[in-house]
Amino acid sequence: MPIETVTQEHRPAGVIAAAPWRVSAVNVQPGYRLSITCNDGTSGVVDMSALVNSAQAGIFAALKDAQLFQQVSIELGALTWPNGADLDPLWVHEEIGNNKTWSVPV
């Protein structure tokens, strides 16, 4: 069953997002994939399977645990996990905007 997270307008006092867009919704898909939507209408799939299964995954190696991977959340427009892993929102937006599907490189 896909898990969906939608951002709330919660942000720390005094923090202003620099980009006019941000990830507004994320839906966990099978195979370490995330279906995302940005508030500017950009949407697509982030495939993290190669990264989480890589010997060079670093902090992302912990996301191989499906329960942890499913705990993705959106903080200030960025995809984040409880272990401190996150994806650069600018990179995500550019790749999804250009390709609709992005395989996160190792």
Split the chain (106 residues) into runs of 10 and give each run's mean pLDDT: 50 58 93 95 96 95 97 93 94 93 90
Asked if the structure places residue 99 within a domain, the reply is yes
Asked if the structure places residue 14 within a domain, the reply is no
Residues 6+ apart with CB under 8 A from 1: none
Asked if the structure places residue 56 within a domain, the reply is yes
Q: What CATH number does the domain containing 48 carry? A: 3.30.2020.10
Residues 6+ apart with CB under 8 A from 50: 103, 104, 105, 106
Looking at the whole model, is its pTM more than 0.85? Answer: no
Asked if the structure places residue 8 within a domain, the reply is no
Q: How many domains does the chain have?
A: 1
Residue 31: domain span? 21-103
pLDDT of residue 1: 47
Asked if the structure places residue 31 within a domain, the reply is yes
Asked if the structure places residue 2 within a domain, the reply is no
